[in-house]
Structure 1
Amino acid sequence: MPGTEEQKQTFLAAPHFAVVGASKDETKFGTKVLKWYVEHDKEVTPVHPKESEIQGVAAVRALAELPDPTHTSVSVITGPKITRGLLEQAKALGIPSLWLQPGADDEGIVEYINENGLGDRVIYGGPCVLAEGESVLKNVQV
């Protein structure tokens, strides 16, 4: 089930954001999502295993390196095999909210979300922040 409006508002009300899947390739959706946060003056950190910065923003190599994971909403723009590991890490770190880009999930990911009680924290199965972020931001109480 795609995320509810309330889940999306909670996601965008976070004080910090992270993007997993941004790269030096400006045509990739992960990089477009990173730019969206920057353009909306959001405190954002790219997560990339090899890069120290993307689009002029300092990157960390893993979710565990985020400065404040329990107050960080994470956009996930990866294939399902990588998404599964990210969900496991996010659960262990207490990350409160994740928004999966279309294509980041599959039946196995949805099953994992449901079996691990993450349904209230993970937005999936629908448009991403690029498509819905503007309209959701208008209703966010920060």
Structure 2
Amino acid sequence: MPTLKATATQFLAHKRIAVTGVSRTPQGHGSNAVYQRLRQRGYEVFAVNPNAEQVEGDRAYRDLAAIPGGVDAVVIGTRPETAEATMRECAELGITHVWMHRGPGPGSVSEEAAEYGRRHGIHVIAGGCPLMFGPTADLGHKAMCFILSRTGGIPRRI
């Protein structure tokens, strides 16, 4: 069973990443923070919000299928109730790397969505935040990763 760190490294090696749940009002939205940081660090990142034409000054897409050329990986940043529908879309589109975002709160993790994804060959990270690892990490997220890894707030193994 791979470690979270190894799977996070593999996830962040992809350069075309969609982030679902990016809001038109960015304050306090984890999806927006992930979207912004990935963009700042040179990733080709796509905002997915079915209720917006534009977020963060960029075009928004109604779903993953609408993204020209597709993506290699997806960060799910929506409510857990919608995660399974997104995971099903990932499976249909052949996307094999999905990260369900969760910081200190409940986040976007759905055990049903994670299980569905794994049954369909998707590498699923169910918890934590991409900003805790590798080229996207900052000191605050690294500290959060350290604390959450010791308190069970993020998975140790995938």
Other-structure match for 1:16? 16
1:124 aligns to 2:126 (yes or no) = yes
- Distance verdict in 2 for CA 1:109–1:96, change over 3 Å: closer
Is 1:77–1:104's contact at 8 Å kept on the other side of the alignment?
Answer: yes
* Aligned 1:39-54 pairs, distance under 5 A: 39-54=40-55
Is 2:24–2:55's contact at 8 Å kept on the other side of the alignment?
Answer: yes
- Distance verdict in 2 for CA 1:132–1:83, change over 3 Å: same
Is 2:20–2:31's contact at 8 Å kept on the other side of the alignment?
Answer: yes
1:106 aligns to 2:110 (yes or no) = yes
Other-structure match for 1:25? 25
Q: 1:67 deviation in Å? A: 1.7
- Distance verdict in 2 for CA 1:93–1:51, change over 3 Å: same
Gaps of 5+ in 2: 138-158
For each residue in 1:51-103, what CA deviation from the matched residue of structure 2 results, as whole angstroms up to 9, or x when unmatched? Answer: 1111111111111111222x421111111211000000000000121111012
What is the aligned-residue identity percentage?
29
Is 1:20–1:78's contact at 8 Å kept on the other side of the alignment?
Answer: yes
Q: How many residues align?
A: 132
Is 1:3–1:124's contact at 8 Å kept on the other side of the alignment?
Answer: no
Which one-letter code corresponds to 1:106 in the other structure?
S
Gaps of 5+ in 1: 137-142
User: In 2, distance between residues paired with 1:3 and 1:92?
Assistant: 26
- Distance verdict in 2 for CA 1:67–1:3, change over 3 Å: farther
Is 1:3–1:123's contact at 8 Å kept on the other side of the alignment?
Answer: no
User: In 2, distance between residues paired with 1:58 and 1:4?
Assistant: 31
User: In 1, distance between residues paired with 2:10 and 2:131?
Assistant: 16
- Normalization by structure 2: what TM-score? 0.73
Which one-letter code corresponds to 1:124 in the other structure?
A
User: In 1, distance between residues paired with 2:68 and 2:10?
Assistant: 20
- Normalization by structure 1: what TM-score? 0.80
Other-structure match for 2:56? 55
CA RMSD of aligned residues (A): 2.2
User: In 1, distance between residues paired with 2:131 and 2:119?
Assistant: 28
Q: 1:135 deviation in Å? A: 6.8
User: In 1, distance between residues paired with 2:2 and 2:110?
Assistant: 13
Which one-letter code corresponds to 1:77 in the other structure?
G
Is 1:15–1:72's contact at 8 Å kept on the other side of the alignment?
Answer: yes
